[in-house]
Amino acid sequence: MGNSGSSNGKNNNCKNIIAEKKIWITTVLLVFNPGVLMLDHVHFQYNGMLLGWLLLSIGCLVRGCMSSSSSNGMISYEIIGAALYASLLSMKHLYLTLAPLYLIYLFRRVCVEEYIIPASDNSDGKQQKLQQRKLRLAV
C-alpha cells in the first residue's frame, strides 16, 4: 500500500509538471504567434508611415501657403501636397474624411486668385483697399 501512495504522489507531480509545461508552451505560442507579430509590428508601423505621409502632405501645403505665389516653372508645394494626399488615400481609405478639407483648401488656394482694388478716398481721407477674388481658370 505504501507503494501506491508514492506512485500517486509521483503521478500528481508529473501532472503538475505537464500542466506547467502546457501553460509555458501556450504562452510562448501566443506571444510568438506570427499573426500577432504581424499585427503589432507591421500593421502599426504601416499606420505610422501613413501618418508621416499625412504630416508631410500638410507640411507641403503650409510651405506652399508661406511661399510666394509667383511660379517660376517649378511644381508648387500645393500640388506636391495634393499628390502625397492622393497616394495616401490610395493606401488607406480612412483618410477620406480629410478630403473635403483638402478640396476646399486647394480650390481656394490654387483656383481662386486674390487681387486688391484701391477704392476712392472716403470722408476721412483714408484710402481703403478692397480685396476681391476671381476664379482662375486652368487652360
Give the chain's residues under pLDDT 70: 1-10, 36-37, 40, 68-74, 113-139
Answer for the pair 133, 114: CB distance below 8 angstroms, yes or no.
yes
What pLDDT is recorded for position 139?
A: 46
91-124 pLDDT, tens digit each: 999 999 999 999 998 888 777 766 655 555 555 5
Answer for the pair 66, 54: CB distance below 8 angstroms, yes or no.
no
Map grid coordinates 508631410 to a residue. 56
Q: What is the pTM of this model?
A: 0.56
